[in-house]
């Protein structure tokens, strides 16, 4: 019996129409375009302005884009993993709602939350389900409405985040393509450095938590940057060593789009040429769970069957890791 590997066979994406540029941010907080660009690499980000639309809207749009491009019947989807740090609401799973709205009524669904590493962890999970032989089509969606948790009076965080979503379909492969190896890690030391303090069981919502802006994302930027640079680079380097890959063997690096300097540090450790590093942070900022699939959607035309692709991410918690995947198709 042929060995089953789990390959990405289709990609979809969606970003809102409204563009929040650095120039606009200059009118909102004490910052400027040069400062933001030199420190983060971000020039603009997309924002979902509709107050009555949440992360599910972004996810549905990305999933529908994939379904239309791949020409698949939603009823054939076996399961949906919804990677997000900004679910529509507590308890009621966003992924379950998305599944119903896109017509994937034969699928079971759930949410996966690992901050900015959510999609990377989701790749591991989706691949495992496919490799088990039990499921043929697993839809992995990464989506976040980060504007819903950003304090736009805090210049340290509001310049970083944007809204967006991407989706990939994992299916069985018998040519040895798809996910080859993974190195995933976490460390609870990061709990205090990147968080939303209130709204959970530890500090339930109250008039005081709202007044103190404790429902907005907060981070110790210098500490997070230090951990991210070290761990993303370490994980990527280890995955290459473990699979006997050199920088010449790597066709593309797909890094989490949090900060251009973190991306550059990871690429530098691997001694990769800039042409092999896929970057779109300048247009979207950090869309958290949406960054990796948005990169795939933007650069799908460059990816060729058999390409060695290295994924890397770092997120709050802390969570991080790297995945080695062989691309499974050429875009028509």
Domains and CATH numbers, the chain: 5-177 (3.40.47.10), 179-327 (3.40.47.10)
Please report the pLDDT score of residue 2 as a whole number. 79
Q: What is the mean pLDDT of each run of 10 residues along the chain (332 residues)?
A: 90 98 96 95 98 97 98 98 97 97 98 98 98 98 98 94 98 98 97 94 96 94 94 97 97 97 96 97 98 98 98 97 98 82
Question: Which residues are designated catalytic?
Answer: 116, 256, 286
Q: Which residues pair with 5 in a beta bridge?
A: 173
Q: Are 324 and 245 within 8 A, CB to CB?
A: yes
Among 209, 210, 217, which residue's Cα sits nearest to residue 144? 217
Please, what is the angle between helix 94-101 and helix 55-70, to 10°? 40
3 state DSSP class of 166: strand
Strands 163-173 and 138-145: antiparallel
* Dihedrals phi, psi of 227, to nearest 5 degrees: -65, -40
User: Radius of gyration (Cα) for the chain, nearest Å?
Assistant: 19
Q: Are 100 and 127 within 8 A, CB to CB?
A: no
31, two tokens: 């910052």
Please report the pLDDT score of residue 332 as a whole number. 75
E strands present in 215-326:
218-219, 252-255, 308-315, 319-326
Cβ count within 10 A of residue 243: 13
Please, what is the angle between helix 260-269 and helix 221-242, to 10°? 30
Q: Which residues of 152-162 are buried (b: 16+ CB within 10 A; e: fewer)?
A: eeeeebbbbbb
Residues 249, 178: Cα–Cα separation, whole Å: 16
Q: Are 51 and 132 within 8 A, CB to CB?
A: no
């Amino acid at each position: 019996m042929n060995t089953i590997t789990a390959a990405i066979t289709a990609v979809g994406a969606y970003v809102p129409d409204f563009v929040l540029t650095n120039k606009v941010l200059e009118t909102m907080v004490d910052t400027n375009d040069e400062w933001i660009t030199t420190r983060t690499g971000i020039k603009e980000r997309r924002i979902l302005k509709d107050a009555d639309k949440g992360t599910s809207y972004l996810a549905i749009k990305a999933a529908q884009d994939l379904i239309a491009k791949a020409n698949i019947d939603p009823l054939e989807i076996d399961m949906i993993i919804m990677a997000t740090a900004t679910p529509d609401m507590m308890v009621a799973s966003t992924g379950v709602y998305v599944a119903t709205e896109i017509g994937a009524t034969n699928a079971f669904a759930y949410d996966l939350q690992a901050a900015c590493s959510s999609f990377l962890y989701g790749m591991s999970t989706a691949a495992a389900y496919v490799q088990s032989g039990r499921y043929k089509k697993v839809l992995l969606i990464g989506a976040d409405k980060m504007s819903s948790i950003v304090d736009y009076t805090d210049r340290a965080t509001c310049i970083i985040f944007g809204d967006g979503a991407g989706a990939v379909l994992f299916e069985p492969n018998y040519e040895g393509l798809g996910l080859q190896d993974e190195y995933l890690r976490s460390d609870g030391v990061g709990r205090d450095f990147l968080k939303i303090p209130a709204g959970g069981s530890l500090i339930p919502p109250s008039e005081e938590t709202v007044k103190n802006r404790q429902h907005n994302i907060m981070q110790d930027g210098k500490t997070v940057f230090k951990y991210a640079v070290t761990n993303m680079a370490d994980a990527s380097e280890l995955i290459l060593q473990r699979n006997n890959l050199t920088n010449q063997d790597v066709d593309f690096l797909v890094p989490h789009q949090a900060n251009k300097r973190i991306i550059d540090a990871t690429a530098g450790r691997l001694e990769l040429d800039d042409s092999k590093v896929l970057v779109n942070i300048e247009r979207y900022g950090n869309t958290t769970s949406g960054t990796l699939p948005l990169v795939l959607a933007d650069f799908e035309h460059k990816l060729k069957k058999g390409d060695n692709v290295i994924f890397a991410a770092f997120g709050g918690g802390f969570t991080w890791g790297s995945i080695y995947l062989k691309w499974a198709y050429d875009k028509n």
